[in-house]
Amino acid sequence: MEQLRLQPISKVNGVVTLPGSKSLSNRILLLAALCKGQTKVTNLLDSDDIRHMLGALEQMGVSVTLNEEKTEALVNGQGGVLNTPSNELFLGNAGTAYRPLTAVLATTQGEFTLVGEPRMEERPIGHLVDALSDLGADITYLKTKDYPPLKIAGKRLTGGKVEIDGSISSQFLTALLMAAPLFAGDSEIHIKGELVSKPYIDITLGVMRQFGVDVDNENYQVFRVKGNQQYQSPGEILVEGDASSASYFVAAAAIAGGEIEIRGVGSKSVQGDIGFAHVMEQVGAQIDWHDDRIVVRKGELKGVDIDANAIPDAAMTLATVALFAKGPTAIRNIYNWRVKETDRLNAMATELRKVGATVVEGHDFIEIEPPKTFNVVDIDTYNDHRIAMCFSMVAVGGKEIIINDPKCTAKTFPTYFDVLSSISE
Ligand SMILES: O=C(O)C1=C[C@@H](OP(=O)(O)O)[C@@H](O)[C@H](O)C1
Ligand SMILES: C=C(OP(=O)(O)O)C(=O)O
């Protein structure tokens, strides 16, 4: 197994231009494929999750031309018609590909088999399949009930009134919303349970609007979507920088000192994870806000106690910032960390303890007390990009650390460690 030994970093300085957002890239690619006409997508993310969406679309006959850096795509929209692929669609561990494609293909003529990495087979999808099945979809579990892989016999769904459980993942609602305009009739989607990760629904509604579809959102409880619509190409669309990826640089500047300008997200960001920068202000970071960039400097860092349900991805970064803050940090209402790339609550607790922190792992929260002395250890990353990136903060805090399997950042940020090294002194 490959390992990366990170030497203590004394200071960070410079400019980071963020790669495109994963959440926006995959939503935009899918709607660009479904709409009529050509769409030019700029600042597209080039990473595994996007490669899986692109691969699936190409297997279904969508023509996509990429520039050499794979950051610009010309997508020829098929007007809602997708070919039956001759092979299974392999979607890795990309939730933003697997869930929306499940819903869209359930209402598309054809036969589709959706498979993924072993971890994808442990990530629940029952809430989405239940809602689609209630609408008449023909979806079969190929191995275990409520989990991928799935076989879909697609047919145009008629729409109607449907309930969907929102308590485990917002991606299920995102998927249903993106498919709903393609139903023959109107739909009314009611949320069962407490909807988690709400800001991702705003991302979904925003991208749908850019492709010409408006959704009536009644307080995140009921969503009404007109049926029999076609998505319209916006012509050209820019993918905003990835706000979750920004969290590592916000944290780095706050911990290490120096100054980092992060380009690609700012006060006008459409991504909920920009909220992490506000949390870091509470922790003590100094931040100058601009429309589409922020400048971050160190402050006196102190532990905070936050509900992180709205920022599940970026909140992981706070768990390693906690190592360098004064007093304890608590991150609450994050049960669904357990059903992502790995059981993140358990994995973070385990690795933070190895470094020397005192940690309480609750059912849906984590509490972290900073170490009195730091241990130089190998961090296991569980094939989870965010664990690898989060633990680089130990080096940023001036302590040596070894990251196992650093290439797992390829899921969303293949060049992460190069970018970190480019701003480190
Ligand atoms: O819709 C999206 O783009 C995402 C939603 C979130 O998932 P959950 O809704 O499952 O929390 C987030 O963790 C994931 O990385 C991306
Ligand atoms: C949870 C994540 O990914 P996915 O889109 O596969 O859910 C993530 O990127 O942290």
Q: What is the 3-state secondary structure (H, E, C) of 244-296?
A: HHHHHHHHHHHHHCCEEEEECCCCCCCCHHHHHHHHHHHHCCEEEECCCEEEE
Q: How far is the CA of 412 from the centre of ligand 2 (A)?
A: 9
Atom of ligand 1 nearest to the CA of 26: 3
Tokens of 126: 């029952």
- Active-site positions read 313
- Is 171 known to sit in a ligand binding site? yes
Tokens representing 70?
A: 């794979």
CA 384 to ligand 2 centroid distance, Å: 9
pLDDT reported for residue 257:
87
C-beta atoms surrounding 197 within 10 Å: 20
Residues found in the chain: 425
Q: Where are the beta strands (DSSP E) in 323-411?
A: 329-332, 358-361, 365-369, 378-379, 401-404
Q: Is 27 annotated as a binding residue?
A: yes
What pairs with residue 78 in β-bridges?
Answer: 36
Tell me, rounded to whole angstroms, the distance of Cα 161 from its chain centroid: 28
For residue 157, the CA-to-ligand 1 centroid distance in Å is: 25
How would you label 159-191 residue by residue, b for 16+ Cβ within 10 Å and e otherwise?
A: bbebebbbebbbbbbbbbbbbbbbbeebbbbeb
Distances (CA, A) of 370 to 301, 314, 388, 395: 12, 19, 19, 15
Q: Which two tokens stand for residue 62?
A: 């969508």
Q: Tell me the best of 122, 317, 341 to mutate to test the pocket of ligand 2, counting ligand atoms within 8 Å of each CB and taking the most.
A: 341
Q: Is the CB of 312 under 6 A from ligand 1?
A: yes
From the CA of 99, how far away is ligand 1's center (Å)? 10
Chain centre distance of CA 141:
25
Q: Whose CA is nearest to atom 8 of ligand 2?
A: 313
DSSP state of 228: S
Residues 54, 97: Cα–Cα separation, whole Å: 9
- Which one of 45, 47, 197, 239 would you pick to mutate in the ligand 1 pocket, going by the greatest count of ligand atoms within 8 A of its CB? 197
User: Is the CB of residue 352 less than 8 Å from the CB of residue 325?
Assistant: no
Ligand nearest to the CA of 94: 2
123 is in an annotated binding site: yes
The two structure tokens encoding residue 5 = 């030994």
Q: Which ligand number lies closest to the CA of residue 26?
A: 1
Question: Is 170 assigned a ligand-binding role in the annotation?
Answer: yes
Residue type, 180: A
Mutate to test the pocket of ligand 2, among 197, 276, 313 (most ligand atoms within 8 A of CB): 313
Nearest ligand to residue 197 Cα: 1
Query: Tens of pLDDT along 359-415?
Result: 999 999 999 999 999 999 999 999 999 999 999 999 999 999 999 999 999 999 999
CA of 197 to the centre of ligand 1 (A): 7
Spell out the long-range contacts of 135-141 with Cβ–Cβ below 8 A and sequence spacing 24 or more: 135/159, 135/160, 135/162, 135/183, 135/187, 137/106, 137/107, 138/106, 139/102, 139/106
What is the CA 149 to chain-centroid distance, rounded? Answer: 20
| List of the chain residues with pLDDT < 70 | none
Q: Looking at ligand 2, which residue's alpha carbon is closest to its atom 7? A: 95
3-state secondary structure 328-351: CEEEECCHHHHHCCCCHHHHHHHH
Q: What is the pLDDT of residue 80?
A: 87
Q: Is 411 annotated as a binding residue?
A: yes
Give the distance, in angstroms, between the CA of residue 30 and the centroid of all CA atoms in the same chain: 15
Going by CA atoms, what residue is nearest to atom 6 of ligand 2? 95
Q: Which residues form ligand 2's pocket by a CB distance below 6 Å?
A: 93-96, 313, 340-341, 386, 412
**Which is the closest atom of ligand 2 to the Cα of 94?**
6
- What pLDDT score does 126 carry? 98
**Edge-to-edge strand ranges of the sheet holding 378-379:** 3-6, 401-404, 378-379
- Torsion from C-alpha of 116, 122, 127, 131, nearest 10 degrees: 30
Question: In the structure encoding, which two tokens stand for residue 390, read together?
Answer: 């989060």
- Of the ligands numbered here, which is closest to the C-alpha atom of 125? 1
3-class DSSP assignment, residue 332: strand
Give the integer Cα–Cα distance in Å for 231 and 76.
13
Whole-number Å distance, alpha carbon 200 to ligand 1 midpoint, is 7
Any ligand 1 atom below 6 A from CB of 100: no
Q: CA-CA distance, 420 to 406, in Å (whole number)?
A: 13
Distance 387 CA to ligand 2 centre (A): 12
